[in-house]
Chain A
Amino acid sequence: MSEAVLSVRNLRTYFMYKDAEVHAVDGVDLDVRAGEIVCLVGESGCGKSMTSLSIMRLVPQPAGRIVSGKILLDGVDLLRLSEDEMTDVRGNQISMIFQEPMTALNPVLTVGDQITEVLLRHRRMRKREAWQRAVEMLEFVGVARAAQIVHEYPHQLSGGMRQRVMIAMAMVCEPKLLIADEPTTALDVTIQAQVLDLMRKMRDDFGTALILITHDLGVVAEMADRVVVMYAGQVVESTDADTLFEEPSHPYTRGLLRSIPSLSDDTETLYSIPGTVPDAAAFPEGCRFADRCPLAQPECLATAPVLREVRPGHWVRCHFADKGSVSV
């Protein structure tokens, strides 16, 4: 296997308030290899967006702070870069696509202005040349009438088109790593299929590595090489996509997979994981999933499990992950 483009080690991102300390990201390890598609899944509030904002060094200020860890991009620790150096990285070596394209696009600039702005910042390019490249990029992402669309404003475009413009903007400098946070949640299935095909094409043609955050396990099955499951600020399982769907190991991952209604069968009653996620300002001592886990033992409440490699390439944070055939 090739070297990791991105290695996150023991990342902790907290929100500091007078009366509370919210442990949004609490010791995350993550590796992404060149050209690999890694899907990041987990319950709402488990720290997926904060992990990616930490990688971009865009954690909300002033309350949010990266308190420890390393974020290595091709061996360079991004946490040691100055703000100026980091500006050169963003949009150039790492790009991010946000869930709601309307908030990330500037409503008063044309599509062409926004794409060329990225090029003018990171590449020594004349305006004419940048404009030409913007049109090419829009054509590449499948925007029909690209030469006209460059002159239009975001509100004139449909949801699917805006998402393509976002991808064009993120990819125009051919970054090593693209982070996409729920890129298709707002889209219907037919447009979703188009956007996913496009992201795979980006990987195939440019070798871009992709971190894809989604709560849609159908998207995970379709796209992922590897899947990282987060729970309460930590990684609880990390493995290749086939293993995740065939032999999920962590009881939380299994619960998640059982909670999805089926498209091809009639489900009588749908399983749902009992209880709720623990408060990120007061995580329990032991396993963070213990009070919702059907397999919990006294040991689970007492000591926190570590992320262990139970089989080559399959990491699980559970005391019982390799203790025979446990079933939920």
Chain B
Amino acid sequence: MTTAQALLEVQDLKKYFPVQKGVLRRTVGYVKAVDGVSFRLQPGETLGIVGESGCGKSTLARTIMRVLEPTAGKILLDGQDISQLSGKALRRIRRKFQMVFQDPYASLNPRMSVQDIIAEPLVVNGLVAARDIPAVVADLLEKVGLKADDRQRYPHEFSGGQRQRIGIARAIAVQPRLIVADEAVSALDVSIQAQILNLMQGLKQELGLSYVFISHNLAVVRYISDQVGVMYLGHLVELTTKQALYQQPLHPYSEALLSAALEPSRKHKRERILLRGDVPNPAHPPTGCPFHTRCPKVMDVCRQSRPTLREAAPGHWVACHLH
């Protein structure tokens, strides 16, 4: 990893949810949803995050966004630690990073017009005068491939892909440096998905945006990302360039994940590595390597000590005793 000033630097970030029992709601343990994640993201770069359901991707996104309080660790945005900010200081910095959610239906208020939805972050931040709003919103709508006339319409009058564009227009309205997209294209069919992905790529080039892009679609992540991180049970187990990850995954979990992805082709069918069993309960994670209970290459040492993320090859980080 380079030493240049990162746009986003996450240091040993942790988010634990208490597990409570009984009428007194005594805390009997913790779900370690994010358990010591570190990475750096350069300006104009996209970091993809992949991993099985429940491995902590959304929790990581929401903690970076400061929607959730971090349990421990630092979040540096342009070198400034935002993990402790609150109130007005947090609101001011919010402008720099925005989130796009999975569900384009649930994340837009059905009673607000498109104009009110998109202008909301502008108004909250006092960035535009009331009389300029229609023109600013029209401009944003055109940027995401919608029509200026769509301003007066309501969310239910749009298709899924169009709603997702409204969400993106709202996110870019305040000219953020970073967008965290959590399963932002997962609910869309492939032709609309292609439109949204190209829109996001275009905005990256045009506005120099950076993305943290979470998805369980590995082909989509390959298309959109520069770097990819693989999560398992709250840990980053591999972090490298997309080329390295897709051509030569080092972690046995990454290998299994990639082998389970399906190609839209009848020709090259790959040998699948079927993982046995479900992800372990994150309230009672296994000792040693979190993946050892399902790892086809498990060794004795894996049951005892947890491997740390190490640079196994230049720019290729992996947490595995094999490397």
Q: Residues of A with Cβ closer than 8 Å to B?
A: 42-45, 144, 158-161, 185, 187-194, 215-222, 241-242, 245-246, 255-257, 259-264, 266-267, 269-273, 276-277
Contacts and interface: CB of A to CB of B under 8 A. Distances in A.
A324 to B, nearest CB: 24
B263 A190 contact: no
A222 B160 CA distance: 26
A204 B278 CA distance: 25
B256 A242 contact: no
A263 B222 contact: yes
A185 B216 CA distance: 10
A192 B162 CA distance: 28
Nearest to B52: A188
Contacts of A219: 262
Given A44-B189, A193-B272, A259-B193, A266 B243 contact: yes
Given A44-B159, A158-B278, A217 B260 contact: no
Q: Which of B190, B201, B219, B275 has the most CB of A within 10 A?
A: B190
B260 A190 contact: yes
7 contacts: A189-B257, A215-B188, A218-B262, A221-B265, A222-B262, A246-B266, A259-B191
Contacts, number: 128
Contacts of B53: 158-160, 187-188, 191
A286 B269 CA distance: 40
Interface of B: 51-54, 159-162, 186-195, 197-198, 201, 216, 218-220, 222-223, 242-243, 246, 256-258, 260-269, 272, 274-275, 277-278
Contacts of B242: 266
Nearest to B256: A190
A263 B246 contact: yes
B219 A272 contact: no
B266 A264 contact: no
A237 B269 CA distance: 24
A269 B218 CA distance: 17
A271 B264 contact: no
Contacts of A262: 219, 222-223, 263
Contact of A192 (B186, B243, B260, B269): B260
A77 B261 CA distance: 40
Contacts of B267: 245
Given A189-B257, A242-B266, A259 B52 contact: no
Nearest to A276: B159
Contact of B190 (A187, A241, A259): A259
